[in-house]
Structure 1
């Protein structure tokens, strides 16, 4: 499925947050878990203005989004990449990832870092990412998340 990817605007924050919640819940997480991660799935207008955020759409439908954060001159972090559950497995995530890689390369970053949800780790591996370790979740103490890296050079 071919999508249009455009830069998100401040007014997209609520729709982006709602999509992130639906996408995370798709993996069968219970209500208690979803409450624990609610803050990290909430997007404010200033988040979108401060960090490059791009949305994938088809017509008027929001299908997914990603957000990039520059960590330093050599590394960008793919802070978020979510796809609407109705469109998972249809190539939307791959198109968003490819777009993020292009944007990070344009800023001359050498690496793209991803703290992945365990259910998304295989997706990132298919995109060419390498798992280089684990990091503890900021939302749930003791929960380890795959740390993935994509070389940009």
Structure 2
């Protein structure tokens, strides 16, 4: 079930983000450099941050909205819960949330390993952007019309 994330959830959501990223074989120094960028913070609470929880937290999504543009800032699924439709469900929530707040487009800077997932969700690659953590690393820029 999807619910709003609360302050007490942040450590578990940060753990999901880091384990999910590590699932793709990234090295420890890269993961350490990404931690602040990938882990939700207290300022995200009540601002488009939701989580999927059944017997434990399994994934989360964070959407920000600026007028007609929405950004899927974070979407992570715990490695043990991948392939169960949680990512698809959270992505659907992100689209509905953005649309409900007047956004016309949902965008994101995708991890290269996640690009195929976002293409299956109907997104299209519209270019490349530099990583916030490592600017010499380029990320696929994805968008979908809402």
Q: Note whether the superposition's TM-score is higher than 0.5.
A: yes
Query: In the alignment, which of 96, 100, 117 is matched to residue 102 of structure 1?
Result: 96
CA drift of 1:108 comes to: 1.4
Mapped contact 1:66–1:78 kept (Cα < 8 A): yes
Partner of 2:134: 140
Alignment length, in residue pairs?
Answer: 146
Q: Secondary structure, in 3 states, of the residue corresponding to 1:12? A: helix
Give the whole-Å Cα distance in 1 for the aligned partners of 2:121 and 2:38: 23
String of CA shifts for 1:100-122, please: whole Å, max 9, x gaps.
11111111100001110000010
Is the 1:10–1:46 Cα contact (8 Å) retained in structure 2? no
- Name which of 31, 42, 45 aligns with 2:42: 45
CA distance in 1, matches of 2:60, 2:127: 25
CA distance in 1, matches of 2:50, 2:17: 13
SS of the equivalent of 2:45 reads: helix
The residue that corresponds to 2:53 in the other structure is 57
1:20 equivalent in alignment to 2:17: yes
2:2 aligned counterpart, secondary structure: strand
In the superposition, the TM-score normalised over structure 2's length comes to 0.96
Q: Any unmatched runs of 5+ in structure 2? A: none
Q: CA RMSD in A?
A: 1.0
Shift of the alpha carbon at 1:48? Answer: 1.9
1:67 aligned partner: 62
Counterpart CA distance in 2 for 1:141 and 1:13 is: 27
Contact 1:14 1:44 in 2 (8 A): no
Structure 1 residue 141: deviation in Å? 2.0
- Tell me the distance in 2 between the aligned counterparts of 1:100 and 1:28: 27
| Structure 1 unaligned residues grouped into runs of 5+ | none
TM-score normalised per structure 1: 0.92
